[in-house]
Amino acid sequence: MRDTRPYHHGDLRRTLLAAAAEAITESGPAALSLRDLARRAGVSHAAPAHHFGDKAGLLTALAAEGFGLLADELDRTRAAGGGVLDAGVGYVRFAVAHRAHFSVMFQPDLLNRTDPELLAAQDRASGALRSAVATVEAPQRRGADARIAGLSAWSIVHGFATLWVSGALPADLGGDPEEAARQVIRPLFAPG
Amino acid sequence: MRDTRPYHHGDLRRTLLAAAAEAITESGPAALSLRDLARRAGVSHAAPAHHFGDKAGLLTALAAEGFGLLADELDRTRAAGGGVLDAGVGYVRFAVAHRAHFSVMFQPDLLNRTDPELLAAQDRASGALRSAVATVEAPQRRGADARIAGLSAWSIVHGFATLWVSGALPADLGGDPEEAARQVIRPLFAPG
DNA sequence: GCTGCTAACTTGACACCGACAAGATTGGAG
DNA sequence: CTCCAATCTTGTCGGTGTCAAGTTAGCAGC
């Protein structure tokens, strides 16, 4: 909080994660450079490695943060009394609002898959996901057990989110991802 | 076809694309190195750049090849008289069989988005996709127009494929992606 | 206030990579 | 046989990730 940069940054870890999210949002995970992050944060080129050990370590931390944010989002819609449809829209809202996190969370080749923090965050998110699906009214699941129903919901929501953030969807869908998501997802939950 | 390597490789472009697919299958697109591909093909480190101009150029060519293969797959199921469900399973089959292509096709930050060959291949694939969805029997679309129905189908299929190849799905689904896909996708097409 | 300790950060170095320029080799058209 | 264009090589440059060793800052205990 001083006007001159102290030797100890004080909050470098969080600063680097924020800078990484910004850089990835701008130009994707492939173009990310630890040295560029260091420059943005005003520290030496090797400082990031001290906090994350590795480039994969930084991306792993970002992914873990992402799973936490996703769990937060799902818990929020659940607390607001929303159903599966709302949870699905929340999933898409998360992906669009935190594109950088989302684009890293499901690319295992960029991450340390066994990192304990990552695993814990994944567990929390998948728990929140399961809770959201558990709110489906029973008649909508007839003919398929709950596990399959959950995977169907996850698939359609994840697919739409992925296609949206990758820009693969047709432009005539409009600019509002949540509204578009609601329309596209609805057929699965309200057949007929 | 001679036993000694001629100065002109003769088929370097295809060889490099195959090597790239193999390398990406092994360790993901991020770890791909043009120099490593050159080593695998037994050529000098700058040879790849001559054919593709750029690392993005190589990945773009791979993505274009991927869209072509996807269109082939969809055309094949259509020619075999399959319905939307079969087309969806075919989509997943393609993603699993050509994981390297698939993992590059929807990452625009790795590609030259305006490459004419890529655009042509995308057009062909999306045409095949639209044809597949058009085979949906009318009653299954009531309440939603054809465009939305197509996006729903694409979303659930793309989501399942993405989650499968990223290893995010629970292990108790078994090892057969096509059978699992059929179960997960069905609820969208055969509600009730 | 001083000492010692640990975490945070810097400096320097090395191998690797993508990209570019310039040269060498080849096959084929005329 | 000549010439040309495409293919591939060689050499080089700046940038990057990672490691090792050194430097600084905060902090507990005396």
With beta carbons less than 8 A apart as the criterion, state whether A37 and A115 touch.
Answer: no
CB contact under 8 A, A151 and B168: no
- Closest-CA residue of chain B to A170: B151
Q: What does the mean pLDDT of chain A come to?
A: 92
% residues pLDDT > 70 (chain A): 89
CA→C1' distance for A34 and C13 (Å): 18
Q: How far is CA B4 from CA A108, A114, B14, B15, in A?
A: 40, 46, 19, 17
- Closest-CA residue of chain A to B172: A147
Domains and their CATH numbers in chain B: 9-53 (1.10.10), 55-189 (1.10.357.10)
CB contact under 8 A, B187 and A110: no
Q: Is the dihedral of CA A176, A182, A187, A188 positive or negative?
A: positive
CB contact under 8 A, A148 and B187: yes
pLDDT tens per residue, range A34-77: 999 999 999 999 999 999 999 999 999 999 999 999 999 999 99
pLDDT for the residue numbered B96: 98
* Protein-contacted positions of strand C (CB under 7 Å): 8-13, 16-22, 25-27
Q: Using an 8 Å CB-CB cutoff, list chain B residues near A127.
A: none
Instruction: Return the number of CB contacts < 8 Å for A and B.
Output: 124
Q: Residue B45, CB, less than 7 Å from strand C?
A: yes
CB contact under 8 A, A192 and B192: yes
Quickly list DSSP for A125-154.
HHHHHHHHHTTS-GGGGTTS-HHHHHHHHH
Q: Using an 8 Å CB-CB cutoff, list chain B residues near A152.
A: 156, 184-185, 187-188
pLDDT band at A189 (very low <50, low <70, confident <90, very high): confident
**Residue B60 phi/psi, 5° resolution?**
-65, -45
Gap between the Cα atoms of A35 and A46, Å rounded: 7
- One-letter identity of residue A141: R
pLDDT for the residue numbered B1: 36
Average pLDDT over residues B59-65: 98
Residue A32 burial by Cβ neighbours in a 10 Å radius (0-12, 13-18, 19+): buried
pLDDT tens per residue, range A71-92: 999 999 999 999 999 999 999 9
pLDDT for the residue numbered A144: 58
Nearest Cβ partner of A156 from B143, B152, B166? B152
Average pLDDT over residues A155-176: 97
Place of tokens 């999210």: A21
pLDDT band at B74 (very low <50, low <70, confident <90, very high): very high
Q: How far is CA B50 from CA B16, B43, B75, B115, in A?
A: 12, 12, 33, 17
Residue A8 has pLDDT above 90, yes or no: no
pLDDT for the residue numbered A135: 73
pLDDT band at B4 (very low <50, low <70, confident <90, very high): very low
Tokens of B141: 């679309």
Gap between the Cα atoms of A53 and A67, Å rounded: 21
pLDDT for the residue numbered B143: 52
With beta carbons less than 8 A apart as the criterion, state whether A99 and A105 touch.
Answer: no
Residue A33 has pLDDT above 80, yes or no: yes
pLDDT for the residue numbered B7: 54
Place of tokens 């930084």: A58
pLDDT tens per residue, range B75-118: 999 999 999 999 999 999 999 999 999 999 999 999 999 999 99
Residue A4 has pLDDT above 50, yes or no: no
CA→C1' distance for B102 and D30 (Å): 65
